[in-house]
């Protein structure tokens, strides 16, 4: 009751506050866009760092002599990271609605920075205890979960519903941009330092960038836009209308239950589809650099440049997916299924391809996977969260988004462990050294063909989960009876 009274008082006070004119407000919007864009890109720089150093880390003597395969260890670390990340998304979403988003986001970034620095320092200190790194990476997943809900909430506050489509479509490319920057950082450091030192410097550099960005967030990010400026009677009328809308929102239902959200038509189908899409996307994100170093025998710098091609393709796919589905009249499930079908065929040729063809196929796979991933996690989630069956209950938007993104993260977490088990990578050391000073050759062998077959299976399941919606869209397009 007290909270409602406070909100009502704040609503009435909106008509009496004066702030900067429209031009200044647009500059503040631009500043918010840039800060949140670079902030979430920095989160992905941190994620890319670990996936990019797997090849060199696997050559460490303590990894080679481990009782279990390196792929099992990496798969477990990726699973723990994404598992804690998935659970953290629900918690961070609730905390973000109750705390100062600027401080909440900056605090989470400091936590990520400390984990990355600890990872690098532990490497420099020759700490060779796998469970230490596993716990550290689980903590990393938990604190990284702050990034997405906090940044999206801030962007949603600054940009109204009429402009969110284009703005959030451009903003969502920050993850691919961060992956590209992360891969470039790894390649640069591997070119400047010895590989045994470079992977540790990568973690330290990523942590340092995260810490600097957290300072920018704390100092310059404004999480809530200013109140409307009142110049004349027209402005007063507009502000009064806005206040009336706010009052309607306050009187709206408080939200829907978790189980009710699952019953919204399309939510379950897209949640399963996103679990499959994110499983494939994150498997390629986490494992492509390691695959290129282990199977293609590339050095880490070159492998990361090749892996960037997938991220560039995903960025292009995000733009293409939004444009094409608009031209198709919003028939998004049909586009997603078609794109996934082509992605599955593309992966059929990826394993065993020549070096140049590998680069081309990675770029094409990024395009074909990036579009569906962007559409489901942004545009489609928003559509489902405002479904006609909800009677304009806008509070369902966050719940639906959490269900789809959380389900996707859980699916991706399980997939990482499965990939590690199926790949079963292990080093076979050959005693070819002529002297004690000559290092032994320890080539890594993996069952990559089984991994790509598993990823294709995920694609097929994702397509099947949307088959019913494709039929509905097709019937509606051709005006056929349901």
pLDDT of the residue at 249: 44
Share of the chain above pLDDT 90, in %: 24
Ordered DSSP codes for 401-433: HHHHHHHHHHHHHHHHHHHHHHH--EE--B---
Q: Tell me phi and psi for residue 159, to 5 degrees.
A: -120, 125
User: In degrees to the nearest 10, what's the CA dihedral of 6, 10, 13, 19?
Assistant: 150
pLDDT of the residue at 55: 62
Q: How far is CA 145 from the centre of its chain?
A: 10
Residue whose structure tokens are 């470039």: 184
For residue 338, count CB atoms less than 10 angstroms from its CB and return exposed for 0-12, middle for 13-18, buried for 19 or more.
Answer: middle
| β-pair type (444-445, 426-427) | antiparallel
**pLDDT of residue 4 exceeding 60:** no
Average the pLDDT over 57-61 and give the result. Answer: 63
Average the pLDDT over 19-44 and give the result. Answer: 85
Please tell me the distance from the alpha carbon of residue 246 to that of residue 362, in angstroms, as a whole number: 47
Give the confidence band of 17 by pLDDT, cuts at 50, 70, 90. Answer: very low
* Segment 266-293, tens digit of pLDDT: 888 999 999 999 999 988 888 888 888 8
pLDDT of the residue at 245: 38
pLDDT of the residue at 165: 56
Residue bearing the bigger pLDDT, 351 or 456: 456
**pLDDT of residue 426 exceeding 70:** no
Q: 445 in helix, strand or coil?
A: strand
**pLDDT of residue 30 exceeding 60:** yes
**pLDDT of residue 246 exceeding 50:** no
Residue bearing the bigger pLDDT, 237 or 265: 265
In terms of pTM, does the model score above 0.95? no
Output the CA–CA distances (angstroms, integers) from residue 19 to 97, 147, 297, in the order listed: 25, 29, 60
Least confident of 57-71, 126-140, 195-209, 256-270: 57-71
pLDDT of the residue at 264: 81
Least confident of 29-33, 159-163, 377-381: 159-163
For the ranges 148-157, 261-270, 277-286, 388-397, the one whose mean pLDDT is highest = 277-286
Report CA torsion sign: 311, 186, 421, 121.
Answer: negative
Please provide the size of the chain in residues: 482
**pLDDT of residue 175 exceeding 90:** no
Whole-number average pLDDT of the chain: 78
Residue bearing the bigger pLDDT, 38 or 393: 38
Domains (range + CATH), the chain: 20-221+258-428+441-477 (1.20.1250.20)
Average the pLDDT over 302-315 and give the result. Answer: 86
Average the pLDDT over 419-431 and give the result. Answer: 70
């Amino acid at each position: 009751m007290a909270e409602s009274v406070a909100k009502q008082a704040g609503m009435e006070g909106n008509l009496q506050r004066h702030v900067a004119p429209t031009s200044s407000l647009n500059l503040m919007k631009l500043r918010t866009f840039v800060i949140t864009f670079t902030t979430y890109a920095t989160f992905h720089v941190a994620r890319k760092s670990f996936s990019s150093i797997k090849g060199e880390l696997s050559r460490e003597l303590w990894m080679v002599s481990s009782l279990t395969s390196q792929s099992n260890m990496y798969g477990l670390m990726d699973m723990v990271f994404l598992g804690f990340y998935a659970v953290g998304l629900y918690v961070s979403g609730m905390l973000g609605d109750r705390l100062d988003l600027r401080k909440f986001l900056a605090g989470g970034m400091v936590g990520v920075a400390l984990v990355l620095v600890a990872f690098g320092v532990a490497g420099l200190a020759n700490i060779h205890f796998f469970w230490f790194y596993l716990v550290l990476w689980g903590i990393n997943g938990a604190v990284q979960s702050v990034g997405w809900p906090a940044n999206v909430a801030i962007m949603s506050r600054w940009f109204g519903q009429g402009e969110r489509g284009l703005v959030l479509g451009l903003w969502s490319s920050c993850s691919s941009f961060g992956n590209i920057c992360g891969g470039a950082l790894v390649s640069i450091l591997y070119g400047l330092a010895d590989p045994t030192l470079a992977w540790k410097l990568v973690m330290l550099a990523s942590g340092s960038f995260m810490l600097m960005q957290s300072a920018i967030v704390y100092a310059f990010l404004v999480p809530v836009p200013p109140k409307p400026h009142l110049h004349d009677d027209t402005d007063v009328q507009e502000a009064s209308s806005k206040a009336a809308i706010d009052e309607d929102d306050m009187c709206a239902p408080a939200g829907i239950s978790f189980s009710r959200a699952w019953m919204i038509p399309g939510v379950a189908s897209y949640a399963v589809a996103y679990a499959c899409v994110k499983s494939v996307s994150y498997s390629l994100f986490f494992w492509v650099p390691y695959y290129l170093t282990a199977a293609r025998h590339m050095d880490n710098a070159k492998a990361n440049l090749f892996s960037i091609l997938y991220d560039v393709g995903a960025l292009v796919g995000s733009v293409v997916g939004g444009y094409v589905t608009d031209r198709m009249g919003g028939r998004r499930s049909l586009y997603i299924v078609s794109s996934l079908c082509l992605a599955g065929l593309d992966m059929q040729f990826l394993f065993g391809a020549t070096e140049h063809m590998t680069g081309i196929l990675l770029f094409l796979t990024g395009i074909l996977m990036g579009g569906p991933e962007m559409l489901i996690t942004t545009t489609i989630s928003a559509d489902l969260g405002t479904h006609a069956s909800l009677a304009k209950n806008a509070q369902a938007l966050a719940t639906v988004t959490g269900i789809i993104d959380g389900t996707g993260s859980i699916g991706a977490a399980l997939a990482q462990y499965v990939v590690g088990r199926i790949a079963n990578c292990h080093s076979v050391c050959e005693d070819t050294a002529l002297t004690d000073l000559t290092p032994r050759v320890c080539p890594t062998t993996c069952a990559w063909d089984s991994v790509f077959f598993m990823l294709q299976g995920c694609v097929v399941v994702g397509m099947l989960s949307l088959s019913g919606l494709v039929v509905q869209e097709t019937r509606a397009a051709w005006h056929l009876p349901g």
